[in-house]
Amino acid sequence: MNREELNEELKTNADNAPKPMKPLRKLKRIDNSHRPAEPEYHGLHEAPQIDIAIEGEERPQESAPRQVYHGAHEKGRREDFIESADYEDYEDEEKPKGKKKKSKKDALIKLAAILVSIVSIITLFLNMPILWYKKAGQPDERVSIINYFKRWQPTVDLEGELAKPQIDLSVDTDIVNDDFTDGLDLPQLIEGQYTVLFLGFDEDQELTDVIWICQFDIAAAKLHILQIPRDSAVPNYTSNPTTKINSVYYYAWDQDSSKIQRVVNCVQENFGIPIDAYITTTCFDIVDIVDLVGGIPMNIDNEIVYEADKIIPAGENVILTGEQAEWFVRFRHDWLQGDIGRVQNQRRFMAAAMQKILSIVKDEGRLKLYSYLNTIYKKKWIATNMSVDDLSKLADFGSTLTMENVSVNMVPGEDAAYIGSDGVQYSIYSIHKRATVDMLNEYFRPYQRPMLLSESNIMEFVSEYEYQYELYDDTGITFKELEKATEPPRASDYN
């Protein structure tokens, strides 16, 4: 293209160019102060705006406190942020899941959990075998504190332990087999029964004027009591010229054994009843025990004059105090049959005492009965080789018995005269051997083979062909029947 052609084209383009636009008029500013504020848009992937608080920097006064953000992944801080949030301003919004506000219920739950933990720790400690338990005739062993307390024998030092019986136990294996159990865990010589020898001393603590054999037939839920008259003659066991069984404790021929063991040996070898444990007490301890339980209610048919200034008034449901109870069980002078009358009156007292125990359990609960036993133990009003646990179990069993399931028998025999080694004539009680063995087989050997006459060391001073009377050969009676029993005959009634 030459110069002329180029100039012509430029001219043509200039003629065809658009005309210039008029200038825009000036826009007025619109007042948006009354329009609602629109939310600030952040991109979908735009990070949230972070208000960073710089330590030491002064901030302008704000109408409401602002929360400080610590970052979602900052260790140990997110929980603080959530917990410090004030949800009261968001009543219509769902609160985020997490820690809730503390309440009294939460505090109680925590407290209960702490207490349970403490109790568990203490229980674990008490059941740890950390103490050595030592008992004569048994190997030493480690036991827990609880087990040690259960085996504790606080009064055994007063009389001592018992040796294993030398007699043949004659266990009836047809009944007491490997599978037989009475359900009560006691240190028994024969499974199914537990026999306690009860002795009551006079003021000098030499003569045992009260001798009872209490056999708990645990498997049959019964209690059988055998009363042994204190005048029963056992010349092979005492050096006392009276030959009476109440002198065996202090005057036994066997001086190598303990005093309590002498009586136990005499009972086992004459009556064939294995003794598991013993309880001894004195006449003045009976006073304290009766007063402890609040007295014993009894029906007194006629006034009892123990001494001139020691009188028990007649009446129904008389509450015997401790002193009156002692007078009652020891009284004998007015009875026609002397010591036998006293034995008969003692069984009335036993029945009343049993009724008192049952009323304590019914009206005050077993814990009250246990508290009485604990006091008797601590005061040492009795001596026994039974442990705390043994005595509690036996008391618990006794409290379940009914009056119909408790029976009492007396050793059969009759009064007789005896000339002692000192030339003095004594009034004794001659045991009827055959009648005694029959009674023992019926009531006191439920888990033993029948006893033979040859297996008993009973010595008769009146042969069975010369018996004057057999009045005491059948004396079995239940406590239920004793509730209506009257006093023994008095000598004044036959004058």
**DSSP structure string for 296-361:** EEEEESS-EEEETTEEE--EEEEEE-HHHHHHHHH--TTBTTTHHHHHHHHHHHHHHHHHHHHHHH
> Is 97 part of any domain?
no
Q: Do both 232 and 189 map to the same domain?
A: yes
383 pLDDT exceeds 60? yes
Mean pLDDT of the chain: 82
Q: Do both 285 and 191 map to the same domain?
A: yes
> Is 101 part of any domain?
no
Q: What value does the mean pLDDT take over residues 328-338?
A: 89
pTM for this model (two decimals): 0.72
Q: Do both 407 and 484 map to the same domain?
A: yes
412 pLDDT exceeds 50? yes
Note the pLDDT of residue 89.
Answer: 46
Q: Do both 160 and 266 map to the same domain?
A: yes
Indicate the SS3 state at residue 199. Answer: strand
Burial of 90 (0-12, 13-18, 19+ CB in 10 A): exposed
> Is 193 part of any domain?
yes
End residue of a domain, out of 151, 185, 220:
151
CATH of the domain at 460: 3.40.630.190
Give the range of the structural domain holding residue 127, as residue numbers without chain letter: 109-151
Give the chain's domain count: 2
**DSSP structure string for 398-460:** HTT--GGGEEEEE--EEEEEEE-TTS-EEEEEEE-HHHHHHHHHHHT-TTBPPPPGGG-----
Q: Do both 180 and 143 map to the same domain?
A: no
Q: Do both 131 and 243 map to the same domain?
A: no
Report CA torsion sign: 206, 228, 176, 402. Answer: negative
Q: What value does the mean pLDDT take over residues 343-370?
A: 93
38 pLDDT exceeds 60? no
Q: Do both 335 and 475 map to the same domain?
A: yes
Q: How confident is the model at residue 92 (pLDDT cuts 50, 70, 90)?
A: very low
40 pLDDT exceeds 60? no
47 pLDDT exceeds 70? no
Which of the pair, 71 or 377, is modelled with greater confidence?
377
Which of the pair, 44 or 390, is modelled with greater confidence?
390
Q: Do both 484 and 377 map to the same domain?
A: yes
Q: Do both 416 and 464 map to the same domain?
A: yes
Q: Do both 321 and 374 map to the same domain?
A: yes
Q: Do both 162 and 141 map to the same domain?
A: no
Q: Do both 370 and 430 map to the same domain?
A: yes
Note the pLDDT of residue 106.
Answer: 82
87 pLDDT exceeds 50? no
pLDDT tens by residue, 427-486: 999 999 999 999 999 999 999 999 999 999 999 999 889 999 888 988 899 999 998 899
268/190 Cα distance (integer angstroms): 14
242/206 Cα distance (integer angstroms): 14
